[in-house]
Structure 1
């Protein structure tokens, strides 16, 4: 196992990721529905709300918090906030600064004994998140774009996150092999950065563009800077078969990272359909047995769910140790 991967693995179980930052902001009364910048706008309008949301996830037991930059981009900030590219870069970097400030406050307030400081992961969403049309769940746009065009789009965002001092880069909800290839090529331009790569998936075997998940994992295996590969923002029931479909090809230098949504349906015009919710805590023990070293939640998963997840995994580890 690579030293990079070892740095992001706990001896007593998986690292606990946070949940849906936008979900938590909406719980606090911030309106995001229909906004092309989604939670990234709050970096500009209410940075304290982002600090507070991060803090609640840390209190719930998260070992990793993810920046409010999934839907952030230099072009998006210029277009929707009428600012210069320099100010847009500063705003994007502020996502990392807010997260790091919150970690510092949490460590000072809570004095977690014997634990590593929480990790800040700089979120990089797919190009489809900028388009704001649900295409991060199809990847259709990649058919009309070259790898170089995708690299050119993502480069400013990754540059800002790296410069601001993200502990990790989180390539999230990536729907296509081509975009994943572009991101991994681009990552080599930032040799001091480590990352995880997680895909959006359409069924139990394929990522959103129809490519087999096993091919996505084989692509990830070639990167020396990844610490984990996996899936996010899919229904929890898809996780187990997806991991099983590629378990024989996963490099020993990589871990699985999984953080599904609540299992509820999403409609781009009307939002979340409040039915079909699944407990990620109950299913997480199986994911841990499959080798997942990073487990958390995505959309519709809040601090209470993360606390349940942590309690479930800790209880499972204790039971296993007692049985030995």
Structure 2
């Protein structure tokens, strides 16, 4: 039985999204210096992915993002896997989430009165597969047919493995988002789309966020779209982005930005201040601006999700 975003939002008031998979895995000793990034841990140490999911549930997450952001068939095959093995690794991302969810639910979730966590099947952009920072630029220079051929198999695997909803995340490009939405609509499955943005008004490719919202506000064209959002973006831009999105869309808006550090795609390193304590204040501000779901992306960890959970408690008690 699949669970729905609608029931999760109803049960929680504000849905708490989990945090970064990569940062948490690195804290557990994983070396992610690889073109597969966190996806390589699906093959090397899957039990650590389960631990990350469990830690986020304990921190207050009402949903979780599978470790499939950079898990692609061509990516795994380039590392020597067969197509069958590559498909198995992607499927494993959902299975690990479900195992962690079931164990946490039986151990403490049910008795604590929490909602049953939603499984979000993560589909990263084509730029993530390139492993060169293209998800912060877009402009891939490939055709819509090539994008569809790249994305469709992973969507089919994640859905077939039992994800509750497909999450197309870190989209720098409206055109790529439209291709992804077309796949989900063709399959008749629920999904949400989350953009990466360069500032408080534009996607990383430069499209005004209002233009993106106008496209997806066509409910007859995108009837299975459940939510729109922003992720992998600096926290300082989020409040303005929420306001711009809410001025156009009737869909619930989700935000899960980075910690505040800046990523250098050349050196593949992060620089700047690691946000601590401030994240709760930001999360409260985003809820007040109209966000229906809040969490964290790159460089956020369980303590940030705890702060989001505390912010929700404050918000709902007002």
| Shorter-normalised TM range | over 0.9
Contact 2:72–2:90 under 8 Å retained in 1:
yes
Gap change, CA 1:168 and 1:139, over 3 Å in 2: same
Q: CA RMSD in A?
A: 1.6
Within a 5 Å distance, the mapping from 1:150-165 to structure 2 comes to 150-165=147-162
Tell me how far 1:205 sits from its aligned partner: 0.7
Name the counterpart of 1:112: 110
Query: Which string of whole-angstrom CA distances, capped at 9 and with x for unpartnered residues, describes residues 148-201 of structure 1?
Result: 22111101110100100101111110000110110011111221x211110010
User: Which is further off, 5-14 or 277-286?
Assistant: 5-14
Aligned-pair distance for 1:12?
A: 4.7
CA separation of 1:44/1:126 partners in 2, compared to 1, >3 Å: closer, same or farther? same
Q: Closer, same or farther in 2 for the Cα pair 1:138/1:111, shift >3 Å? A: closer
Q: Measure how far apart 1:62 and its partner are.
A: 0.6
The runs of at least 4 aligned residues of structure 1 exceeding 6 Å deviation read none
- Residue 32 of structure 2 corresponds to 32
Q: Partners in 2 of 1:57 and 1:243 — Cα distance?
A: 24
Partner of 1:294: 293
SS of residue matched to 1:180: helix
Q: After superposition, what is the alpha-carbon deviation per residue over 1:258-305, rounded to whole angstroms, capped at 9, x for unaligned?
A: 000011111113333342344322111121122211110000100011
Is 1:68 equivalent to 2:64 in the alignment?
no
> Which residue in the other structure is 1:13 paired with?
13
Q: How does 1:307-322 map to 2 (within 5 A)?
A: 307-318=306-317, 320=318
CA distance in 2 between counterparts of 1:294 and 1:308 reads 14
1:24-82 per-residue CA deviation (whole Å, 9 max, x = no partner) reads 0001111113x1000000000110011111111111111111110000101111111x1
Aligned-partner Cα distance in 1 for 2:14–2:204: 26
In structure 1, C-alpha distance between the alignment counterparts of 2:12 and 2:184, rounded to whole Å: 30
Equivalent residue number for residue 147 of structure 1: 144
Of 78, 92, 95 in structure 2, the residue corresponding to residue 94 of structure 1 is: 92
CA distance in 1, matches of 2:28, 2:100: 18
SS of the residue corresponding to residue 129 of structure 1 reads: helix
Total equivalences in the alignment: 310
- Aligned counterpart, 1:194: 190
CA contact (8 A) 1:13 1:314 kept: no
For residue 22 of structure 2, what is the aligned residue in structure 1? 22
- What's the secondary structure of 1:123's corresponding residue? strand
- Hey, what does 2:168 align to over in structure 1? 171
Contact 2:122 2:168 in 1 (8 A): yes
Kept in 1: contact 2:15–2:294 (CA 8 A) = yes
